[in-house]
Each structure stands twice: as C-alpha cells, then as structure tokens.
C-alpha cells in the first residue's frame, strides 16, 4: 500500500471511532508497524486533523467535518438543496438524508428531520454508508453493472455482515444481487432491519436533470423511521413523495452545477 494510502486509512479508521483509539489499536487495525503509525499520527496532529486525549487515545478534530461543511456552504449546495429536504421531512414526519455519489463512494451530505412523530430516527452525517445493508447503498448498486457492483462489494466482509449490521442483513452475494435485481425493476430500495434493529429505510437514486438519460446518478435520497411506523401503506405514500422530491433534487442539482461552473 502507498504511503498516502496509509494516511487515508488512518483518517477513515478514526472517523469510524469518534471516541478515539490507542496507538496499538490503530497500528493493528491499519496493519502498519507501530513506528509507522506514530509517524502518520504525528503528521496529522501537526496539521490539526488529529488530537491526543488524556488517555493517549487519538481522535479526529472537527477540521475535516468543518472543511466539508464549508465547501458545501461556499458552493451554495446546501442553500439550494436543503429546503427540498426540509419539505420532505415535514411531509413525511421522518428522517431524510441526501447522499452524493463520487466515483466508487457514497457519502452523506445533507439531512432533515421534522420532530413531530414521537420516536424519531436520526444519525450523524459522518457515518460510513455500507453499500449492501443500506437502502441508499443498494439503490446506488442497482444503477451500475454487476461487475462494478461486485468490485465495490468485495471490500466488505459479506459473510460476517451481521457482526456489524442488523439482524436481517444479507450474508451472501447471491441474496444481495437478488435484492439489486428487484430494486432495478421497482426503481427503489426498501431495507428493513438490515442496517439497524428497528429501522426501516426507503431510498431512490437522484439523477442530474441536465445529463442524458441512462447516465449514472449523482446521489441518493432516503427516508428512515421506526419499523413500527414504516408499514406498507405508509411506505406507499412515502415512496410517492420520495420520487417527486428526487426529481426536484435532480433539477436543482443541474441548476447548482450550472451556477458552480459559471
């Protein structure tokens, strides 16, 4: 692995452990020598990306999240997109999230919650999107060729998925591709307790309206809530709202691109 790759592996590991990790844990999980891990962490500390607490655990500072938010705000992306997410959250009463597609990665970028329905599902935007256990990830996989989807899935320990996901998570490639085939035919993904216990999520792909048909999506839009509230009749209504909002987001995405490229 390249030297730069080790830096990014360290950052991504710390992102998944906001409480911090010891030097030995980082060395073990990134599979680099202790001395190498220490040099990487020292360089990241010097640049302000990592700090060390009283227990000598290393954790990320807010520099990377603040950089991301600054970029989103400076480009006008949030100003254009956030009202659409807010409207969908008000209409459904559930947690709404928008993810962006960037080559072989899917990343949460915006969210909205209308807290009027009692028990509310919500998660941080910095959590990693697991492609085969999330509605956003599955609907994204459904938009690509099987060969590419397989390459993306190969990075995950599929057989042991339930060690890091929900009780209904798929643990075989065949089951995952069966789901993908269904999503392709229906145009949306529904995940019930695959990512987390007690949570149901429905998602659709978002396409830039200015791009030709059959091009790759620019993002995904999802609605998440307690499984007791996300029943079939509710899902049908949510899906109609979700698909309308995704079309609007695609139109606004095209507008944002035209403004940001000007």
Q: What is the pLDDT of residues 189-235, one digit of tens each?
A: 999 999 999 999 999 999 999 888 888 999 999 999 999 888 888 89
66-260: CATH number:
3.30.450.40
**Spatial separation of the C-alpha atoms in residues 248 and 120, rounded to whole Å:** 25
pLDDT of 251 strictly over 80: yes
> What's the average model confidence in pLDDT over 112-132?
77
Where are the domains positioned within the chain? Answer: 3-61, 66-260
CA distance readout (Å), 110 to 78, 100, 128, 167, 224: 7, 9, 14, 27, 14
Q: What is the pLDDT of residues 12-64, one digit of tens each?
A: 888 888 888 999 999 999 999 999 999 999 999 888 888 888 788 998 887 77
Per-residue b/e over 217-235, b at no fewer than 16 CB within 10 Å? bbbbbbbbbbeeebeeebb
- What is the pTM assigned to this prediction? 0.77
pLDDT of 117 strictly over 70: no
For domain 3-61, the CATH class is mainly alpha
pLDDT of 257 strictly over 90: no
């Amino acid at each position: 692995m390249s030297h730069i790759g080790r830096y990014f592996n360290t950052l991504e590991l710390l992102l998944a452990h906001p409480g911090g990790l010891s030097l030995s844990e980082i060395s073990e999980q990134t599979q680099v020598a202790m001395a190498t891990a220490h040099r990487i962490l020292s360089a990241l500390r010097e640049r302000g990306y990592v700090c060390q607490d009283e227990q000598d655990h290393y954790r990320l500072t807010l520099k990377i999240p603040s950089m991301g938010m600054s970029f989103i705000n400076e480009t006008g992306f949030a100003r254009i997109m956030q009202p659409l997410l807010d409207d969908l959250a008000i209409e459904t009463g559930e947690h709404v999230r928008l993810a962006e597609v960037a080559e072989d990665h899917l990343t949460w970028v915006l969210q909205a919650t209308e807290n009027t329905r009692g028990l509310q599902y919500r998660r941080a935007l910095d959590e990693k999107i697991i492609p085969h256990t999330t509605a956003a990830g599955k609907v994204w996989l459904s938009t690509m060729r099987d060969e590419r989807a397989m390459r993306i899935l190969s990075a995950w320990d599929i057989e042991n998925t339930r060690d890091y996901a929900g009780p209904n998570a798929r643990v075989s490639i065949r089951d995952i591709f069966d789901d993908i085939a269904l999503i392709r035919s229906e145009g949306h993904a529904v995940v019930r307790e695959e990512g987390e216990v007690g949570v149901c999520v429905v998602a659709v792909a978002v396409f830039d309206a200015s791009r030709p048909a059959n091009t790759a999506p620019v993002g995904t839009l999802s609605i998440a809530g307690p499984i007791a509230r996300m029943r079939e009749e509710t899902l049908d209504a949510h899906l109609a709202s979700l698909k309308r909002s995704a079309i609007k987001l695609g139109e606004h995405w095209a507008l944002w691109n035209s403004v940001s490229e000007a």
